Amino acid sequence: MAEPIRVLVTGAAGQIAYTLLYNLAKGDVFGPKQPIILHLLDITPMVGVMGGVVMELMDCAAPLLRDVIPTDDEAVAFKDIDAAFLVGAMPRREGMERKDLLAANVKIFKSQGKAIDQYAKKTVKVLVVGNPANTNALVCSKYAPSIPKENFSAMTRLDQNRAQAQIAHRLKIAPNLVKNVIIWGNHSTTQYPDVHHAVADIGGIEKKVYDAVANDEYLKNDFVSIIQKRGAAVINARKLSSAMSAANAATEHMRDWWTGTAPGKWVSMAVYSDGSYQVPKDVMYSFPVTCGADHSWKIVQNLNIDDFSRKKMDASGQELLEESAEAMMSCQ
């Protein structure tokens, strides 16, 4: 077997991590032949809860899991890691403005960025799950200047999965028969789920999703709104935020980033923008990407963007510029 890799999960005592850690231990992310050492980080009051998580991981008797290192010390948590899932973040509380949420999270991700810069491997791949994920990832990358910007990404895979599942449900097919749905922009209510380039396998015949659904009104209105507000709908029904589906999306995001996407398939990742598709540069913007076996990603280029899509993409880009400006002011 290969040498173990070190994988960090922050917010390790929380709900998302509870599912994610099991997925990691049994090889769903880095493969069935890749041993791992798990680093678990959470705040000091949650150390006792982490102890229970460590016991459960041990009781899973996962053959790939070589060691578990729980800690509340960033120096220990980030030491020599190969990959990181930054799940822990300040949650938005009732009555809290988005700018207040940004200010609280800037402190967390500024500190973690510095720790990545100082202690992690320079090849580390960092996935930010904690919201506001795009801007948290941007702040984290800013304070880890020795790590390439392309080694940071924020999760919009959950939004992609939600969109894919809604289309599959409408077409009465399995979700895996729908591919190349795109999430553009921010993981927020301005995100734009786009099916103009998506295809569906219907009875063994590949069709464009737009043609198969054949309902322009639905795809431009209800569909977009459902995906944008799905997280709030889950909270309203469950009284807790998405956890199982978020852990699944984090698993899939890192798996594809680490091992590569299948030919002809792309996935949505919020990555450091180079200005592709005329969106703002220097923000973490969700694009369709393909991933290589060398842990690299490339933005899918030359897709046709209609006027409706252009407006939606621009609105999300503008929100990210505003968030970035607010976050950087809080950094000072």
- CA atoms lying within 13 Å on the CB side of residue 273: 26
Please tell me whether 42 is known to bind a ligand: yes
Number of neighbours of residue 41 by Cβ within 10 angstroms:
28
Please tell me whether 260 is known to bind a ligand: no
- What separation in angstroms does the CA of 303 have from each of 31, 289, 310? 32, 12, 12
Please tell me whether 204 is known to bind a ligand: no
Tokens of 289: 């990407």
Please tell me whether 53 is known to bind a ligand: no
Please tell me whether 310 is known to bind a ligand: no
Distance, in Å, from the CA atom of 245 to the CA atom of 23, rounded to the nearest integer, reads: 12
Please tell me whether 72 is known to bind a ligand: no
Instruction: Give backbone dihedrals phi and psi of 298, rounded to 5 degrees, phi first.
Output: -135, 135
Check residue 190 and report its DSSP letter: T
H or E element in which residue 212 lies? helix 209-213
Using CA atoms of 4, 6, 7, 8 in order, give the dihedral in degrees to the nearest 10: 150
Distance, in Å, from the CA atom of 125 to the CA atom of 213, rounded to the nearest integer, reads: 37
> Beta strand 205-208 with 199-202: parallel, antiparallel or unpaired?
antiparallel
Say whether 187 is catalytic.
yes
Number of neighbours of residue 146 by Cβ within 10 angstroms:
9
List the catalytic residue out of 39, 169, 187, 197. Answer: 187
Distance, in Å, from the CA atom of 186 to the CA atom of 179, rounded to the nearest integer, reads: 20
Cβ neighbours of residue 313 closer than 8 Å, sequence gap 6 or more: 184, 185, 192, 277, 279, 305
H or E element in which residue 65 lies? strand 65-71
DSSP letters spanning 286-325:
EEEEEE-TTS-EEE-------HHHHHHHHHHHHHHHHHHH
Q: Give the residue ranges of the annotated binding site.
A: 42, 92, 98, 105, 129-131, 162
Q: Give the residue ranges of the annotated binding site for NAD(+).
A: 42, 105, 129-131
Q: Give the residue ranges of the annotated binding site for substrate.
A: 92, 98, 131, 162
- The catalytic residues are 187
